[in-house]
Chain A
Amino acid sequence: MTRSSHASKPALRVHEATKSWGDTLALDTVSFSVDGGIFGLLGGNGAGKSTLLRAIVHLTALDRGTIEIRGFDSVRDTLDARHQVGYLPEEPVYYERLTGWEYLQLIAGLKKLDNADERAELLSHLGLSPEVARTERIGNYSLGMRKKIGLTAALMGSPPLILLDEPLNGLDTDAMRRLRLRLETLASSGSTIVLSSHVMSFVERVCERMVILKAGRVAALGSPADIRQQSSCSDSPFEDVFLDLAAAD
């Protein structure tokens, strides 16, 4: 398959992804496809969202099923697939003794990106002063500052597929708004964004499509309007819609 033919493939295709941890089934034949826009990955605690995001970048190996990123198999063509991705884990572990800027330099070096201006612009946009990032070590950062460093690392270079696991944790209202604007810009310029979150108002506002996971299975899939239709309380706030579809039996 040539590079140009890969560009015509969906940004992300998950096919019957299955994973167990011991006796616990974390993912049970999950299938969906995303190409462009902002896609929400919803579910209660332990529904399998983080496991799925980790499996997409092959940080976790699936028991069964396949995942393709722009046509690259995440297991067979791991490196090609990872080159398409920017990823923010739920609880990233950083090098505490590096400054935020040095950490971003490291990630940029590993990804062979050489645009310091883009890094500074991203940091400023998210509300973290590049000067602070240059002088303060990550060990001294607040939760919000750490999250902004992780977001900048994931968004650098505008990768075709951006995976954000709970990107809103620790962000203040202003930073959430700035993040939303940036994600919308990236989506309009061709990136596909998959994000998981528990902030339903944010998800309903920004996501064009979403999947709700319940105990590792797909409980609902579609646009926010489709999801509402699948619920028994379609006129209620989206939080109630989500709880109706995702709550344990």
Chain B
Amino acid sequence: MSRVANSLLLLRARAVEAVRWFRQHAFVLLVLAPLILVPCGWILIRWAPLVATELHRWLELDTATPAALAWILALFVTVPPLRTALDELYPPRRTMLDALPVAVSSRLVTAIITTWVRQLPLLVALVVALVVLGFERPELAIAHLAMIISLSTAVALALATLLVRLRWLDGRALVPAAVWLGAALVAQRPPWLDAVLAPWRASAVQIDGLVRAIADQMGSPARLAAPDMGVVLTIVIALGLATIIYLRDYERGRELVETILSKRARRSTVRLRQTEPTPHPVRVGVARDMRLVIRLFSPAVVVTSGLTFFWLLAAVLAPLVTPIAWHERATFAAGTMAVLSSVALVPVLVQHQLPRLWAETVSGIEPSTVWRTKLWSARLLAVPATLLVILLIATRGTASALPNALLFAAMAWCLASLVGGAAYEIPERPLIGFLFSAMVGTALAGLLIIVPDLWLMWLIGFLVVIATFTDRANGRIQLLQTQR
């Protein structure tokens, strides 16, 4: 009984935390997000039939590609809960909880429920999207998505315990992931490989069904009939495996995680030691920001990298799903989103900096230096995505490739400057700050994408906006530096 009571206490503490987080972000979630998402949803609804038709045609023509897509999506569905599961099962730092008489099984139960619940926003968002799209049987989709979440939770927990045991918490984890993914794409698999791939196959089958049902749109919700016993069995086996490994020797797993993380920290530190920035305030500030990003100072680094990758993929695939006249515009649009995703880290860097701003403040540097540091950090963060999109434009070999590449480079520079320049506008709420600057940025970028001939107007608009930020930034930073 005490174990159940302990699990309930832990879950209650998590729930209180979640409620407080929600209250803190209520404005964004209830006011700002709808303000932005409703127009986006309207655009989506206008475009959805076209996309659905194209997707449907694509699925009919080709059977291998959607299956591969489902496998990749299955991997994507497993990775985010894997991170949550690892943090929940083996927290990287010892806390007060470790000194309390809490049974390991209580921790496991808490980890299972927390990992499952943290995927709920995705479920809710997908169901809302399906309802908006006019899906005939949303209740089937709910059951189906709940099953996908349960499956990914179970697989993530099993993987987390296994990876810790194998001491593969570093980059080597990508090797089996790549091998499994490659093996999944092999048409004729030996039975043993099928067994190893079972959890992903179950996820992939579920996701494949969902993708096809959405593509069919209002067509055949029968694809979303009750999940088969195989899926339920996979969940039970994965959870059983996680339970056995976790409960068998929790302390050993914990020690392994601590050792691996400290070794990893030391390795990446040694690698970065080579760079000795010359003592210029902006340069050392940018070097600090880049080090923090490389060392994953926040989960936002993973999220923004994932989003950037997604939009870069969209830029590559854009010609497949858009009419020929729209190829360039679609590449520009997806590229713009990739750049915005990259620089979305800057407001998070500012939030991270706030409790540490005293060090810069008492060093006697000017507020404009603090601001310029983030401006340059944003520009630097945008470079990889910008270069990849330029490369993409260049490889398409159209007559307008060169001017388009130059135009995109200029646009990316300006967008990054906008987000970096506005980073101190709402420093405690990086998401709101980013949304505001991204709205201005996408509006300007949209103008350029739709009417490229008006680039001069776009440039004037940018200069006006950035001048406004420049004037405000000094005052904002001075306010932040001194407690009133």
| A binding-site residues for B, Cβ under 8 Å | 54, 57-61, 79-83, 85, 87, 89, 92-95, 97-99, 101-102, 105-114, 134-137, 139-140, 153
Contact = CB atoms under 8 A, between A and B. Distances in A.
B269 A106 contact: no
Interface string B251-267: 00000000000100110
Interface in B264-291: 265-266, 269-270, 272-273, 276-281, 283-285, 287-288, 291
B277 A137 contact: no
Nearest to A85: B362
A59 B363 contact: no
A229 B291 CA distance: 55
Contact of A102 (B281, B291, B359, B484): B291
Contacts of A140: 262, 265
B277 A99 contact: no
17 contacts: A57-B361, A58-B482, A59-B361, A59-B481, A61-B483, A93-B356, A97-B292, A101-B273, A102-B272, A107-B359, A107-B363, A109-B279, A109-B280, A109-B284, A110-B363, A112-B279, A114-B279
Nearest to B92: A139
A137 B265 contact: yes
Nearest to A111: B363
B295 interface: yes
B277 A98 contact: no
Contacts of B291: 97-98, 102
A97 B295 contact: yes
> What's the interface size class on B, roughly?
35 or more
A79 B368 CA distance: 12
A114 B296 CA distance: 28
Contacts of B481: 58-59
B146 to A, nearest CB: 37
Nearest to B280: A109
B428 interface: no
A136 B266 contact: yes
A107 B364 CA distance: 10
A107 B288 CA distance: 11
Contacts of A98: 288, 291-292
A218 B178 CA distance: 69
A139 B295 CA distance: 12
B279 A95 contact: no
Contacts of B88: none
A61 B262 CA distance: 41
B265 A95 contact: no
Given A136-B266, A140-B262, A60 B284 contact: no
Nearest to B288: A106
Nearest to A98: B291
